[in-house]
Homo-oligomer: A and B are copies of this chain.
Amino acid sequence: MSPPLPRDPIADAQRNWESHGWSDVAAPMAAITAIMRTQQILLARIEGALRPFGLTFARYELLALLSFARSGALPMNKASALLQVHPTSVTNAVDRLQTAGLVVRSPHPTDGRTTLIELTAEGRTLAKRATAVLNAEVFGQSGFGDEDVNQLIRILGDFRRGAGDFTD
């Protein structure tokens, strides 16, 4: 951990934007930059909590998604759509999870094109243990106030809907 800076670099950037005649977009610039930095901080916390399990965030998300599917199995394209990541990223994650014995690939019974990803028993127990740690160490100590959490869910939900993630 490097020591804290004496001043908020994003607030400084916002002031720089304003003094250069870009006042109309200075605030959105600051908000977007803050989102970038916040994501970086949160990702580091999450990956730190998952490291003892040999998981990354991408692989954990896939495990968690499978653990919520009633059958414990999903087609790869479905996983790609629900996680909002590129199909190649799913392929990469499945490769490593399969090597670790946490999931297995199996052919789709009727559609020869699609591949099913299925949780193994070890995968299911590891997902449960990893979720418990994430809940305790990250989500339970997020640093956001309760009301701020609700604001974030609403603001970012509006944004994601507007960006075409979903229609609700």
Task: Show the binding face of A for B, using Cβ within 8 Å.
Answer: 1-2, 4-11, 13-14, 16, 22, 24-25, 27-32, 34-43, 46, 57, 64, 68, 81-84, 131, 134-135, 138-140, 142-146, 148-153, 155-168
Contact = CB atoms under 8 A, between A and B. Distances in A.
B25 A32 contact: no
A166 B25 contact: no
**Considering the complex of A and B, which 3 residue pairs feature the smallest CB-CB distances, nearest first?**
A39-B39, A34-B156, A25-B139
Contacts of A83: 9
Nearest to A77: B2
Q: Which one of A68, A145, A151, A165 has the greatest number of beta carbons of chain B within 10 Å?
A: A165
20 contacts: A4-B164, A4-B166, A5-B166, A5-B167, A8-B160, A8-B165, A9-B166, A13-B64, A27-B149, A28-B140, A31-B152, A32-B46, A34-B156, A35-B38, A35-B39, A37-B165, A40-B84, A41-B160, A144-B159, A148-B155
B159 A143 contact: yes
Contact of A5 (B135, B144, B165): B165
A31 B163 contact: no
Contact of A153 (B30, B39, B131, B142): B30
B164 A1 contact: yes
Contacts of A135: 22, 25, 29
Contacts of A82: 5, 9
A31 B160 contact: no
B159 A155 contact: no
